[in-house]
Structure 1
Amino acid sequence: MASDIMDYSINGLPLHILIVHAVVIVVPVAAIVVLLAAVWRRARRWFGLVTPILGVIAAVLVFVAKEAGEWLKDRLPDSPLIQEHTDLGDTLLPWTIALAVLSIVVHVWYRVVEKRAADDAPSPLVRRIVAIVLAVAAVVVVPAGIITTVIIGESGSRAVWEGSFSDTPLEE
């Protein structure tokens, strides 16, 4: 495993705690962009290459966060909250890979279809079927990816902060 041979820290801070901030922003943004691009022609034109770029960046960030998280887990005392977060963390990468693939397929399909001459383009039936399949895929992948990101983030926050602060201000 890569986490065994790499140092996932920056200036003494675990990379995981830094990169998860990018994950919780980029994954939902990429997901929303992919959904909009899958179902709305104007959004496809606005976003252009941003759609597949964000999808791929989301998957890469999640992969690095997962590897850095494994590295960090090996350096923390074992606890049920950390184990729960680790188990949940393993579920996000498949969703973001699906998001990356979908972002590329949506971009390439519509670029190819929109660039072809009318006599060389797929039939209206094929275009309609592909549009429906891409929209359904987006409607499944996007919410699942966002919800999974939120659940994992909440479990990580709980693992770090539960029992480590006071509900009331401390006396000075």
Structure 2
Amino acid sequence: MFETINGMPAHVLMVHAAVVFVPLLALGAIVFAVWPAVRGRIDWAVALLAVVAPLSALFSMLSGNAFYRMREADGTPEQFLDQIGVHASYGQRTFVFSLGLAVVTGALLLLTRRATGPKALSIGLSVVAVVLAVVTGYFVVMTGDSGAAMSWKIS
């Protein structure tokens, strides 16, 4: 399932979803965390992104692992496989942090929707969400940059 789509490496296609949805989750989480006045208008979009973004990162990671195995099997030079490994490590971190961001954002959504719990908890979750959003954004950029650098070097 994660090897090819219509004869093309699946990773090349699936990565586009993560490139769009993960940064949108990071942006949505920041806006939701720091701007309470708009929470009621964007809560459904942030909740949807909290599900879709980590899934898109997961599918990108799984298809990337399949791409690595295909390159390994076809005798790709070790130097290039090492570059793929660096790219993959950034991609794994992107998935882990996007999942963490989704969980924290979901908890913040639930907490603010029910308007229960101490104010300090809402503030704490907001701070954690912003920090995770920034870290997630960093890893999205590093993942994309390392992947693009490889693509342009071999073209």
Task: Give TM-score, length-normalised by structure 1.
Answer: 0.80
Give the corresponding residue for 2:50: 55
Rg larger for: 1
Residue 12 and residue 45 in structure 1: after superposition, are their counterparts in 2 closer, same or farther (change >3 A)?
same
The residue that corresponds to 2:135 in the other structure is 144
In the alignment, which of 88, 91, 102 is matched to residue 89 of structure 1?
91
- Corresponding position of 1:46: 41
Give, in whole Å, the separation in 1 of the partners of 2:60 and 2:144. Answer: 12
The question of 1:19 aligning with 2:14 is answered: yes
Q: C-alpha separation between the residues in 1 aligned to 2:146 and 2:58?
A: 18
Q: Structure 1: where are the runs of 5+ without partners?
A: 1-5, 114-120, 165-172
SS of match in other structure, 1:109: helix
Runs of at least 4 residues off by over 4 Å: none
**Which position in structure 2 is the counterpart of 1:167?**
none
Contact 1:19 1:65 in 2 (8 A): yes
CA deviations over 1:1-25 (Å, ceiling 9, x no partner): xxxxx44321111111111112111
Contact 1:92 1:148 in 2 (8 A): yes
State the alpha-carbon separation in 2 of the partners of residues 148 and 10 from structure 1.
26
Question: Aligned to 1:72, which of 64, 67, 72?
Answer: 67
The separation in 1 between residues aligned to 2:12 and 2:60, in whole angstroms, is 8
3-state SS in 1 of match to 2:70: coil
Given residue 136 of structure 2, which amino acid in structure 1 is its aligned partner? Answer: G
Q: Which of 74, 85, 105 is the matching residue for 1:103? A: 105
Structure 2: which amino acid aligns with 1:89?
G
CA RMSD in angstroms comes to: 1.4
The number of residues matched between the two structures is 148
- Whole-angstrom CA distance in 1 between matches of 2:154 and 2:10: 23
The residue aligned with 1:130 is 121
d(CA) in 2 for partners of 1:41 and 1:87?
35
Q: Kindly provide the amino acid, as one letter, of the partner of residue 10 in structure 2.
A: L
Q: Which amino acid is 1:102 matched to?
A: V
Percent of matched pairs sharing the same residue: 28
Structure 2 unaligned blocks of 5 or more: none
Question: Would the aligned equivalents of 1:34 and 1:102 in 2 still touch at CA under 8 Å?
Answer: no
- 2:144 matches 1:153: yes
Any idea what SS the aligned residue of 2:150 has?
A: helix
Structure 1 position 8 matched with structure 2 position 10: no
